[in-house]
Structure 1
Amino acid sequence: MADVHLEIERSFTPPSGAVLPDLTALKKVVRAEPAGEERLDATYYDTPGAALRRAGVTLRRRTGGHDAGWHLKLPVARGGREELHLALGDDHDPVPVALLDLVAGWARGVAVAPVARIRTRRTLTRLVAADGTVLAELADDLVEGHATDSGAQPTYWREWELELVDGSPKLLDRAEALFAEHGIERSAVQRKIEIVLGAREPVAALPEPRRKGPAGAVLHVYLAEQVRRIERFDLAVRRAEPGGVHGMRKACRRLRSALAAYRPLLQRELTDPVRDELGSLARSLGGARDVEVVLDRLQAQLAEQPEELVVGPVHQQLEERRRRAEGDDARTVAEVLGSERYHALRDLLDALVASPPWSERADERARDVLPKLLRREGKRLRTAPDEAEDLHEVRKAAKRLRYAYEVVEPLWPDARRPRRAARRLTEVLGDHQDGVVAREMLLDLAAEATASGQDAFTWGRLHALEEMREPELVDEAVEAWAEVRKHRW
């Protein structure tokens, strides 16, 4: 298991002869205590195409200092990075598989190798509050770095790193102002590896969406956000975080819906294959999660039953089914996210955001094009028969309409009400679908109990309760559907 902590720091570039200012001038800092000196030697790893560096990810093996080991730094919100730390092996130990698995969404089947070596002579100072709390730690670094794949001369520089320990982020702002008074500015580059190898390429700015602007600009912003979501949830899925699979599947559905609803803005021969691959990814990750959703539903129902009506080892039977589902989920995730097909899809999504394959209609004004396309989507659902034979298909159509509204809502706030109505319909129909799957599982659990000589009474009772609930859900769905069909946005 890796040690994990949130790293929030700021780097500054002092001249070679600069002296630390009086750090007790900072609010709440009463002492600046020398904390010793360290000699650090770090080897940095990346793909030949600098996939990790471009994503803001750092993977290194470092000796020396109090935290020697393998470090993986991941960009997170709140202006910091999450650092994972694994212990060192011998002098020639390979990159730990646990860390390689986490960066696989960026490496995509390409091996990582050493790209730079950075040696640092570090002098530490702790910023301490009146009660003894260490608010932050300042590292005065003398650094030597060089690329491992070139004959370039080493780069030398001095750097101050101020990292929060138990202090407030406001401390960093105050320190920056104090340093500026002494002519010391924040470093233009905040990562040592980028000083050695060069800063990562800036991400191209997205066009500003406007009603009078191109319709493609509005869709572009939405597509880029969903691709970023898939990238974020890739890591969450690999770490088995709650909501990871669900989040990735929702991002896939949102992307597919946007590409379908607004397909006249795009060259379909290029985007339809992307839609197909997104659908395949969502389905391949969905089976085990859908089982867990139903298991949670049954567990909640069991908790509501009178004790005398819970007969036999039903809780144990349910937990055994959950363990099997979790095992299936882990195997599926490993296979899917490690596949060449998934890597190819991620490449396609990056290309989709970098250079969308627009049609001529994408240049038309958003206010002239998007409402028409959205009304067409609404018509698809509103003209469906009242007595639909397949409510699951209606649910999928409602989701597509809901996500189509999301695309335009930032510019057309009045899209909020119909979008919420569509969401309500998808939720009710989702509850109905979960009930259908639950009844199938209850029959299976009853058969399993009977085959092992156990009493299946409780499973039969829950099945009956699910059957009784279905007409209510259908009525709710009809009501929600009627609300959706009222809107003529």
Structure 2
Amino acid sequence: MADSTREIARTYEVMGVARLPDLTRVAGVASVAHRGVDELDALHYDTEDLRLTADSLSLRRCPDGHDAGWHLTIPIAPNLRDDLREPLSDTVPHSFAGLLRSRIRDNALVPVARLLGTRDAHHLNDADGTLLAAVSVDTVRAERPAGGPAAACWTTIEVRLADGGDPALLDLVEQRLRRAGAHPVTAPSALARALAATDPDRAPASARGRSTPETAAPATAGDHVLAYLRAQTEEIVALDPAVRRDLLDSVHRMRVATRRLRSALRTYRKILDRNVTDPVGDELRWLAAELGVGRDQEVLDARLRADLDELPGTLTLGPVRARLRIWSTARGGDSRARVLAVLDGPRYLTLLNRLDALLAGPPLLPAASRAPGRTLSRAVLKDYARLAARVDRARDLPPGHARDLALHDARKAAKRARYAAEAARPALGKPADRFAGRMKALQTLLGDHQDSVVARDALRDLAVRAHAAGEPSFTWGLLHGREEAVAAARERRLPRAWRRASRPGLRRALDG
């Protein structure tokens, strides 16, 4: 696994020769220590159509110096990035190729620009000598990878916060730099600036090779639906490296984006031809299921551990925690290896390509050209009608297995209605926002009920296994009873939650 550093940094343009202002006048900075001047030499790689540059990613090979090796910079948020590093080699490291696969697909990575220059480094320290931030003045010369006359030069100042530092320091340093004539960079990356300067006729392709989204605000119903589909597709692609790196909550977020995509394709069948979108939806369902294998077990394990933690020690009989650990390991298997195999497989990459093709040439139906208000609200309310029918059916059933299944179906319908409203929010405004909030609250209630159903099935299995091994099953039975009480409490809350979710005035506002 590559070495990874999370950096909080800001970069500033400097006109002419850069001289740092006196940064000891910044509150908290007691001294500025000069750390020397280093040579910069980085050969940047991208696809021929510059897919990485379009997403502000930077892949570069540094041949020598303290930066020697391969570097991959992934933006996380404004002024926040992860810098990954692998040892120097002749080819792109396998780990980096994997992290970039969702973006580059089957395209080759080739040198696109070379950045050379110097870095004049300084450390900002407090009165105790503790590092607060690193400041560097970078003088850069950009060249085409094959050399030649095309070149551009510029100077920037980068301020990088020390680990555990206070981000407020960056604001104070920025004030001093601005007074000295510096201003935040406008280019999304150094590579983007280099390419614009050395080869102005070559612009980065739109992200992942799709057609460039219109800069104007969406006007038609089709515009709004496509904007939502594009956002969720970009979320999947952007989260792919995070899932591969096993970052917190990344699998869950990728699964949610996959479900949102599939839900939108089903909801807005009057706008997009289902003969084209249904097969894509089937593949999204497959992907969501694969991503959920480990996630569902994690959620269940956390719930059962929390149930155990709430019991007093006198009611915890037998090796219950060891039994739970063994059972969870056996059920979970190597879910991470399975997810990685899916992301590296041809079926997943084919799905990403099909999503790109869908967005580049959407199968729009006549309703797509209509004004969004009535068209989108009708689609949302149709999903609401499906939810209402499922809630009514569940409430008419007696407590038991059939009612549990019906409530689970209602939960899925509530989630679909919520996603439909979220997709329509830019067009319908506050009514859609309030409607989505009501659907989310109902979904949460029904979701907790379903989690209890799943937990009870697991607790029964654990009790059977404990009994067969000669262990006391008392604790598992006790937890089963507590989960039954939780489910009953959620069912008692359902009528009030449904009244809030089905408020007529809110539906009328949504319908305009």
Following superposition, the deviation at residue 331 of structure 1 comes to 1.8
Change (3 A) 1:324 1:47: farther
Contact 1:10 1:186 in 2 (8 A): yes
Change (3 A) 1:69 1:26: farther
Change (3 A) 1:186 1:321: same
Secondary structure at the residue paired with 2:364?
coil
Contact 1:179 1:185 in 2 (8 A): no
Following superposition, the deviation at residue 301 of structure 1 comes to 0.8
Following superposition, the deviation at residue 24 of structure 1 comes to 4.5
- After TM superposition, the score normalised by the length of structure 1 is 0.85
Per-residue deviation, residues 268-298 of structure 1 (Å, max 9, x unmatched): 2222222222111111211221121111111
Q: Distance in 2 between matches of 1:159 and 1:326?
A: 52
Contact 2:161 2:170 in 1 (8 A): no
Match for 1:448 among 442, 465, 481?
A: 465
What's 2:480 paired with?
463
Per-residue deviation, residues 272-330 of structure 1 (Å, max 9, x unmatched): 22222211111121122112111111111111122122122211222234445554320
Contact 1:14 1:185 in 2 (8 A): no
Give 1:117-266 correspondences, 5 Å limit: 117-126=114-123, 132=129, 133-147=131-145, 152-153=148-149, 155-166=151-162, 168-171=169-172, 173-174=174-175, 177-178=178-179, 180=181, 189=187, 191-198=189-196, 200-201=204-205, 204-209=213-218, 213-266=219-272
Secondary structure at the residue paired with 2:157?
strand
Moved more, 358-367 or 226-235: 226-235
Following superposition, the deviation at residue 11 of structure 1 comes to 4.5
Instruction: Report how many aligned residue pairs link the two structures.
Output: 476
Following superposition, the deviation at residue 186 of structure 1 comes to 5.8
Identity %: 34
For the pair 1:3 / 2:4, whether they are aligned, the reply is yes
Change (3 A) 1:456 1:21: closer
What's 1:312 paired with?
318
Q: Distance in 2 between matches of 1:190 and 1:473?
A: 49
Contact 1:71 1:85 in 2 (8 A): yes
| Counterpart amino acid of residue 200 in structure 1 | P
Contact 2:49 2:205 in 1 (8 A): no
Match for 1:419 among 428, 436, 444?
A: 436
Q: Stretches of 4+ moved more than 6 A in 1? A: none
What's 1:402 paired with?
418
Match for 1:366 among 366, 372, 375?
A: 372
Moved more, 470-479 or 195-204: 195-204
| Counterpart amino acid of residue 95 in structure 1 | V
Change (3 A) 1:426 1:455: same
Change (3 A) 1:189 1:409: closer
Secondary structure at the residue paired with 1:409?
helix
- After TM superposition, the score normalised by the length of structure 2 is 0.82
Per-residue deviation, residues 198-232 of structure 1 (Å, max 9, x unmatched): 453465345424xxx42223333333332233233
Following superposition, the deviation at residue 479 of structure 1 comes to 4.0
Secondary structure at the residue paired with 2:38?
strand
What's 2:36 paired with?
36
Unaligned 5+ runs, structure 1: none
Secondary structure at the residue paired with 2:92?
coil
Per-residue deviation, residues 227-259 of structure 1 (Å, max 9, x unmatched): 233233323322222322221122222222222
| Counterpart amino acid of residue 419 in structure 1 | A
| Counterpart amino acid of residue 77 in structure 2 | A
Q: Distance in 2 between matches of 1:294 and 1:456?
A: 19
For the pair 1:377 / 2:383, whether they are aligned, the reply is yes
| Counterpart amino acid of residue 104 in structure 2 | A
Q: Distance in 2 between matches of 1:191 and 1:178?
A: 24
Contact 1:128 1:136 in 2 (8 A): no
Unaligned 5+ runs, structure 2: 197-202, 207-211
